[in-house]
Amino acid sequence: MIVTVTPNPSLDRTYEIPSLDRGEVIRAGGERMDPGGKGVNVSRAVAAAGRPTVAVLPLGGAPGALVADLLDAQGIEVAPVPVAGATRSNIALAEADGVLTKINAPGPELTPAEQESLLETVRERSRDADWIACCGSLPRGLAPSWYAELVARAHRAGTRVALDTSGPALLAALRERPDVVKPNAGELAEAVGRPLATVGDALKAAEELRELGARTVLASLGADGQLLVGAEGTWFASARVDAVRSNVGAGDSSLAGFLVAGGGGPGALASAVAHGAAAVQLPGSVMPGPANLDPAAVTVTAEIPADRLLTEPAP
């Protein structure tokens, strides 16, 4: 059982367009509407893998009701926390060449009572959970220490926590020693305060996050692969991808793949990369199922290519 926590969920609309031309009328070739938010996507990917999951999220207004309906239609159990503000609506424009432009709304501001209700709902729904996956940015009203409090409460209850966030919220949570953190290259660079140009730079940054408190670091380097750095060892993995269609939710799918495969070791890393590679070849934020995975396209090694330049250096 994997419980996901999405403090700032969304209703996501994705339009496939030939190109993004400013000031012009653009006719979309395809349209999708999906429940959004990083934790929501993790639940969707876990469900696609045939594993049980509960999505805990604050929901408000008509967009919130629609998010709940869409998740229910996918067979995902929802533990809603009613809030006064309306759930945000986001727009993604996917061009034919794979470039994605996203417009993300800020979302509602949660009151202190709503914040505590969210924590209490996580506690109630995670009693039998193997993992709690805490994902995404914090909405207005929540202090950067909110995730740290959630991690502390989860550990007191004996539950493992995977954390996928960035900035002050990530740094604050590290002191509570989350079991897994999943930054991308940009978030790694931000956390250590310097640019990353090579896989070796990313490895050093991941090691520094462990020194700050993270027990395991699963670092996504985009098209260049992923690093897994923990007490049991360090591995690097990459996958062959034939064509990128949309990278929306690919990192969330990757985290789901890591957790459903046990949440540690090279086997879980291979699962993470296979799920992420499958996700980028699907439209919108569609989460891959077993039929979409290609384990043979994944390579895992303990030999870290430290000198390899990152395709997209992290500033």
Judge contact between 195 and 313, C-beta under 8 A. yes
Based on the residue annotation, tell me whether 130 is a catalytic residue of this protein: no
Cα–Cα nearest to 218, from 170, 169, 174, 254: 254
What is the identity of the amino acid at 255? Answer: L
**Residue 255 CB contacts under 8 Å (≥ 6 apart), including other chains:** 42, 45, 133, 135, 162, 164, 182, 218, 272
Q: One-letter amino acid identity for 227?
A: L
- Identify the active-site residue in 97, 130, 252, 307: 252
Q: Which amino acid is at 59?
A: L
- Dihedral of the CA atoms 280, 15, 49, 214 (nearest 10)? 60
Distance from C-alpha of 173 to C-alpha of 266, rounded to nearest angstrom:
25
Catalytic residues: 252
